Structure 1
Amino acid sequence: MELDQVTLTLLLTSDVHGHVLPINYATNEVVPLGMAYAATHIKRLRKENPNLLLIDNGDSIQGTPLTYHYAKFRNHLPNPMISIMNHLEYDCTTIGNHEFNYGLSMAKKAVKESLFPWLSSNILDKTSQEPYFGFPFIVKKMNDVKVVILGVTTHYIPNWENPLHIEELDFEDAFLSTKRWVEFIRDTEKPDLLVVSYHGGFECDLENGKPTEHLTGENQGYQMCQEIEGIDLLLTGHQHRQIATTINGTYVLQSGFHAQNIGKATITLMRDSHNNWCIKTIIGEVTSLANEEPDEEVLKLVCKNELETQLWLDEAIGKIEGSMLIVDSFDVRLNEHPMIEWINRVQMDAAGVKISNTSLFDNSSRGLPSFVTMRDIVSNYIYPNTLSVLELTKEEIKEALELSASYFRINEDNNIVVNPTFITPKPQHYNYDMWEGIDYTIDVAQPIGQRIIKLSFHQQDQNGPFLVVMNNYRAGGGGNFELFKNKTVVKEILTDMAELLADYLQVHQVVKACVNNNFTVINSNKDSL
């Protein structure tokens, strides 16, 4: 019997970043997130909705000590995140930018183990110029409704990733690839419902269209909605936001991060006078998973991985003399902190250079206690960054300092606060760097671009050029540091920073917490009152 109306349910996860168990690995406290919670929700809705699509939007296999430990010590075994996604019967996932953090071989292994396709139309084989992972899109038939899902990935990955991890790949402009493939799919497949799963976000305010970031091409979701016809549902991610709305006739969904929430779109289609399906309504929502109970089957799937991870995290490494604890993350950026000083000094030691920069990556970082374990290291240095040494001029270093100085602004009470552009639409506190090996002063009262009022170098030659060590994300231009992009890399240290920090502690056993106060942040308007 032919149906006149069909309702489909689409569930979306994105930016899970390896979170399975509902715990904070820094403290092992229970927190309401993770795939164990998502699994309970997914299984219940699958029973209630026979016409269900389950899609992940990318950045699934990296991000927690569990995934880090697996990548470093257990990668000869099945990937725990893929085991979970296979168990939950995902229909597809999109390649995210963090899929490459552990190297291309790890990404390929994850794809090979998956019982579902990995989509990306614009990540191309450098030789053949065909989609590297094989699937630009998939076709699903559900109650005589033809659904096509196209995958596309932010093409900004070369600005962040270790070049060795992506040397076989080319990255086509995500917008151009989406436009071409949507036209091709509409012409050849004639879908009843066309879904684009884009691991990227929005470059403009969703309501007024005003740019919310430098238009680098990292996020092109708004442009896709405005300039590409034929997308019925645009699934997004990367920015860790919660979005369920319509933009220029295209329904947009983004489900947050770390499996704290799940996105849901209910799509109702009905037949027209020519017996063709047409979309009647798309209703979206983002639902918190905080009230769910963890799924026992998922917990069993990662039980051994988790046990070994916890044992590894509790391994003692060394001792801090003094305090490297972080009480106030904002104060760390205003006044030099022993933790930042130490990270910079480890970077300089590993690279054999005299200038370094680093960030406080996460506002929840607690710093290091007196007796340090691996748990403390990986909870504070949360990314698998390697190091690059660039040769920079004095002018280029000053330009980079000016970019970091834009992190601050003066509020109505004449106090220094965080510039809102580093908070909305996505928190980007990690794009404020603190430097070692130079002396500098930031005056937040001055206009952006003119805030470095003092700059001097510890080495005798004040004119340069200078060798500077930084993480590979920044060296590739990540965080709008375009001036570093395409600079000659003098040296690379390909050991993860977490390992370098742990090795340094194990060798020295005791590290003294100290600062040399080589930078200051002032408000000359207030200081002159």
Structure 2
Amino acid sequence: MDQHKHAKLTILETSDTHGHIFPILYGTNKYEPIGLAKIATYIQHLRQTEPNLLLIDNGDSIQGTPLTYHYVKNQSDLPNPVILTFNQLKYDAAIIGNHEFNYGLPTLRKGISEAQFPFLSANIINKQTKEPYFGLPYTIKLFPEGMKVAILGLTTPYIPNWEKAEHIEGVEFEDAVETAKKWIPFIKEKEQPDLFIVSYHGGFERNLKTGEPTEAITGENQAYQLCQEVKGIDVLLTGHQHRLLADELNGVTIVQPGNSGAYMGQVDIEFAMDSRNKWKCVSKNPSLVPITEWKEDEEILQLILPYEEGTQKWLDQPIGRIQGDMIIKDPFLARIHEHPFVEFINRVQMEASNVDIANTALFSNQAIGLPINVTMRDIVSNYIYPNTLTVLELTGQDILDGLEKSATYFVVNEHGEIAVNPQFIDPKPQHYNYDMWEGIQYTIDVGKPVGERIVSLMKDGEPLDKKKTYHVVMNNYRATGGGNYSMYKGKKVVKEIQMDMTEILANYFTKYGTVVANVNNNWQVIRT
């Protein structure tokens, strides 16, 4: 072995690809330089020049596009298209992300069974056996020159705060840091690896340079803590936050490659052999590789074409008409002045659940509202999550607390104007955590201190009774307290509507044909 004095290894990471294989945005059906078909070309290019390649997906891969949604609803007898793509690209391992649970355990288990590589997560535990739920906590990869690499998988344990209970039945989520502290010494002693990689579907809760918290410390993101408190990690692959990071923290090399397959995370490792004929890591170079310029891999496109064609046909189905204007021209204005699209979503929720109070968010700044002739494409490009509806029993005080939480979305900027609170933009856009309500009348005054911004709150012309209970419909993510809406957590569930919101919206058009765009201006955002 000693004739090989030096050796190289290239680690490639994808994360939060969210079902993007073809380079398009489904809402507009226009070309976008993203997705696994482009990433495939870069991988094939590297394989020609770098003999030692380690390819890892860091989670949130099987959910997120109309292609993955259509597959689950209409083509689930076929192999999972994302797993097919990963198999074709010869992935070495994949991590379970939080969105892997969105379509339920049967879909997840089926995908894992089709994979020609291990799915890893050491801290997702079977409630009964206390063993890793999906079998493998870690995997070992050996390279021709004799280097031995360990890969430990970890997942954000915050999943019960977002996911439907039936989608995680029998599953337990342990703290990622404590799990790492338990497994790393065990793996090191048993396997004696030359390099230790932790692939963690989670992000950084603190500023990498100052250590200052960048969010509420809830346990959702523990990457900073992993770097500071856990010994023995050489490389930490991260995700979940959709950030672009390539850096080093406390001697740990870190990368996070954004989302939708626009970038790859890459770490170039150099090994040298020591006097005991043992490989030692002598350099680690993290980088982010934009895949914009790489052409799509034709084999991948052909492989997934049957899924894509089925999806496109489904998306182009006309389902109804809008009378009036339901187009969103400015997403910020749609959050400070009631918009017909937001009112429409709330009214559909109220009818579906038969209650008279609702809330919803405008999920992203890419939401464009509905044109005059509505297709399924318009529905799924605006309502981008596979949410169902939950009716909670809340007190007037709970509603007030929820409104005050939403009101933190705003700040008064240096020009004295209402603006978006930077905490809802950086490090990750969280526009989906600002709710707008129907069935009550309220005023948010951004000029008031946080916690005192709801200056008027009425129902049916009377002040809302803080002690009285009301039935409120919202999406299942919010109903579990998602977005740090702790006032909803553990509240009595009156009803659950077990149908995806996109189907509920489509059915609404089937029932009524034409929907009138209007608003009743039941809320306002002001600054005094």
**Alignment partners' CA distance in 2, 1:300 and 1:345:** 42
1:489 paired with 2:490, answer: no
Unaligned runs of 5+ residues in structure 2 are none
1:466 paired with 2:476, answer: no
Instruction: Kindly state the Cα deviation for residue 459 of structure 1 after the two structures are TM-superposed.
Output: 8.2
TM-score, structure 1 normalization? 0.98
Instruction: Kindly state the Cα deviation for residue 187 of structure 1 after the two structures are TM-superposed.
Output: 2.4
1:282 paired with 2:284, answer: yes
Cα deviations by residue, 1:80-120 (Å, 9 ceiling, x for unpaired): 11110000000000000000111110000000000000000
**Alignment partners' CA distance in 2, 1:429 and 1:195:** 33
Aligned residue number for residue 138 of structure 2: 137
SS at match of 1:302: helix
Instruction: Kindly state the Cα deviation for residue 268 of structure 1 after the two structures are TM-superposed.
Output: 0.7
**Alignment partners' CA distance in 2, 1:329 and 1:28:** 20
Distance 1:493 1:358, change over 3 A: same
Instruction: Kindly state the Cα deviation for residue 338 of structure 1 after the two structures are TM-superposed.
Output: 0.5
Aligned residue number for residue 64 of structure 2: 63
1:353 paired with 2:355, answer: yes
Alignment of 1:325-340 (within 5 A): 325-340=327-342
**Alignment partners' CA distance in 1, 2:21 and 2:104:** 21
Match of 2:151 among 149, 161, 180: 149
Q: Which amino acid aligns with 1:94?
A: I
Aligned residue number for residue 310 of structure 2: 308
**Alignment partners' CA distance in 1, 2:303 and 2:363:** 30
**Alignment partners' CA distance in 1, 2:154 and 2:487:** 27
Alignment of 1:164-313 (within 5 A): 164-313=166-315
Match of 1:413 among 407, 412, 415: 415
**Alignment partners' CA distance in 2, 1:461 and 1:247:** 52
**Alignment partners' CA distance in 2, 1:193 and 1:450:** 52
Instruction: Kindly state the Cα deviation for residue 409 of structure 1 after the two structures are TM-superposed.
Output: 0.4
**Alignment partners' CA distance in 2, 1:163 and 1:416:** 38
Match of 2:510 among 503, 506, 511: 506
Cα deviations by residue, 1:459-503 (Å, 9 ceiling, x for unpaired): 879422011111111111111112211222111001000000010
Aligned residue number for residue 87 of structure 2: 86
Aligned residue number for residue 345 of structure 2: 343
1:518 paired with 2:522, answer: yes
Q: Which amino acid aligns with 1:146?
A: K
Aligned residue number for residue 443 of structure 1: 445
SS at match of 2:332: helix
Contact residue 38 and residue 295 of structure 2 kept, 8 A: yes
Instruction: Kindly state the Cα deviation for residue 270 of structure 1 after the two structures are TM-superposed.
Output: 1.2
**Alignment partners' CA distance in 2, 1:28 and 1:522:** 37
Contact residue 457 and residue 463 of structure 2 kept, 8 A: no
**Alignment partners' CA distance in 2, 1:4 and 1:141:** 17
Instruction: Kindly state the Cα deviation for residue 288 of structure 1 after the two structures are TM-superposed.
Output: 0.6
Q: Which amino acid aligns with 2:317?
A: E
Contact residue 367 and residue 382 of structure 2 kept, 8 A: yes
Instruction: Kindly state the Cα deviation for residue 275 of structure 1 after the two structures are TM-superposed.
Output: 2.5
Instruction: Kindly state the Cα deviation for residue 183 of structure 1 after the two structures are TM-superposed.
Output: 2.1
Match of 1:370 among 369, 372, 377: 372
Unaligned runs of 5+ residues in structure 1 are 525-529
**Alignment partners' CA distance in 2, 1:65 and 1:191:** 41
Aligned residue number for residue 9 of structure 2: 8
Instruction: Kindly state the Cα deviation for residue 440 of structure 1 after the two structures are TM-superposed.
Output: 0.7
Instruction: Kindly state the Cα deviation for residue 141 of structure 1 after the two structures are TM-superposed.
Output: 0.9
Cα deviations by residue, 1:283-309 (Å, 9 ceiling, x for unpaired): 010011110100000000111111111
- % identity of equivalent residues: 55
Distance 1:459 1:498, change over 3 A: farther
TM-score, structure 2 normalization? 0.98
**Alignment partners' CA distance in 2, 1:19 and 1:211:** 31
Cα deviations by residue, 1:6-54 (Å, 9 ceiling, x for unpaired): 1101111000000011111111111110111000001110111111000
Alignment of 1:13-32 (within 5 A): 13-32=14-33
Aligned residue number for residue 527 of structure 1: none
Figure out how many residues of one structure are paired with residues of the other and give that number. Answer: 524
Cα deviations by residue, 1:201-226 (Å, 9 ceiling, x for unpaired): 00001110100000111000001101
Contact residue 410 and residue 418 of structure 2 kept, 8 A: yes
Q: Which moved more, 1:451-460 or 1:289-298?
A: 451-460
Aligned residue number for residue 392 of structure 1: 394
**Alignment partners' CA distance in 1, 2:154 and 2:128:** 19
Aligned residue number for residue 477 of structure 1: 481
Q: Which amino acid aligns with 2:472?
A: V
Q: Which amino acid aligns with 2:119?
A: W
SS at match of 1:329: coil
**Alignment partners' CA distance in 2, 1:516 and 1:424:** 33
Contact residue 388 and residue 500 of structure 2 kept, 8 A: yes
**Alignment partners' CA distance in 2, 1:462 and 1:395:** 9
**Alignment partners' CA distance in 2, 1:254 and 1:496:** 31
Contact residue 411 and residue 446 of structure 2 kept, 8 A: yes
Q: Which amino acid aligns with 1:381?
A: Y
Instruction: Kindly state the Cα deviation for residue 314 of structure 1 after the two structures are TM-superposed.
Output: 0.6
SS at match of 2:134: coil
Aligned residue number for residue 96 of structure 2: 95
**Alignment partners' CA distance in 2, 1:453 and 1:275:** 72
